């Protein structure tokens, strides 16, 4: 990324976090990027970088006005950063395919090559394969059933990935 980001979504390119440092006391707090995006969109606050820099207070200091907001990349070197970014992108694209299939599950089920590939992509990220099997079984049972649990199975996969420490996009995280 060259220059300052335009929004918090641009920070996904560097796979990082947002650091807020109080200029008065010198203490610092690190915010997870996806949790920050989720929180700001839920509260209907702007995700524009300039607005975030201006509005991010440090809550543990009496003087909450003087803060410095910075981008902190997670990786130690460029190769490691590229590997993490590629894994994050592949994992989140697979989750997007599964999310799209949940909308069509009642009409056509989830037995498509795209869903099979997405589930296979997610296998290395989840040590317990039962959630992936559950998604597949719920998708197969959802045909012509108005009340199905495919959406829940997708949410459980997302929760397991977040619990494992993977960087899941804020759009997939449950409230």
Q: Which residues contact 164 (CB under 8 A, 6 or more apart)?
A: 125, 126, 127
| pLDDT for 35 | 80
| pLDDT for 106 | 77
| pLDDT for 7 | 85
Given a contact cutoff of 8 angstroms between Cβ atoms, the answer to whether 38 and 170 are in contact is: yes
DSSP-assigned states of every residue in the chain: --SS-SBGGGGGGGTEEEEEEETTT--EEEEEHHHHHHHHHHTT---BHHHHHHH---TTSS--S-EEEEEEE--SSHHHHHHHHHHHHHHHHHHHHHHHHHHHHHHH-S-SHHHHHHHHHHGGG-S-THHHHHHHHHHHHTTT-SS--HHHHHHHHHHHHHHTT----TTTS--
Per-residue pLDDT band for 58 (boundaries 50, 70, 90) equals: low
Residue 175: pLDDT over 60: no
| pLDDT for 157 | 94
| pLDDT for 90 | 92
Per residue in 87-104, pLDDT (tens digit) is: 888 999 999 999 999 888
Global pTM? Answer: 0.66
What mean pLDDT do residues 57-68 have? 65
Residue 15: pLDDT over 90: no
Share of the chain above pLDDT 70, in %: 86
Per residue in 106-134, pLDDT (tens digit) is: 788 788 899 999 999 999 999 889 999 99
Between CA 97 and CA 116 the distance in angstroms is 10
Residue 65: pLDDT over 70: no
Among 101-110, 136-145, 153-162, top mean pLDDT goes to 153-162
């Amino acid at each position: 990324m060259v220059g300052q980001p335009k929004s918090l979504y641009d920070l996904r390119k560097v796979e990082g976090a947002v650091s807020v440092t109080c200029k008065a006391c010198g203490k610092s707090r690190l915010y997870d990027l996806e949790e920050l995006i989720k929180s700001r969109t839920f509260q209907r606050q702007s995700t524009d970088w300039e607005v975030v820099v201006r509005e991010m207070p440090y809550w543990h200091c009496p003087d909450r006005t003087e803060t410095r907001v910075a981008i902190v990349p997670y990786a130690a070197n460029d190769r490691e950063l590229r590997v993490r970014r590629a894994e994050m992108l592949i994992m989140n694209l697979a989750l997007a395919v599964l999310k799209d299939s949940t909308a069509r599950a009642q009409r056509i089920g989830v037995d498509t090559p795209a869903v099979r590939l997405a589930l296979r992509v997610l296998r290395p990220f989840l040590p317990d394969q039962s959630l992936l099997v559950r998604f597949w079984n719920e998708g197969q049972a959802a045909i012509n059933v108005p009340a199905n649990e495919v959406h829940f199975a997708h949410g459980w996969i997302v929760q397991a990935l977040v619990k494992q420490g993977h960087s899941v996009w804020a759009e997939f995280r449950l409230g």
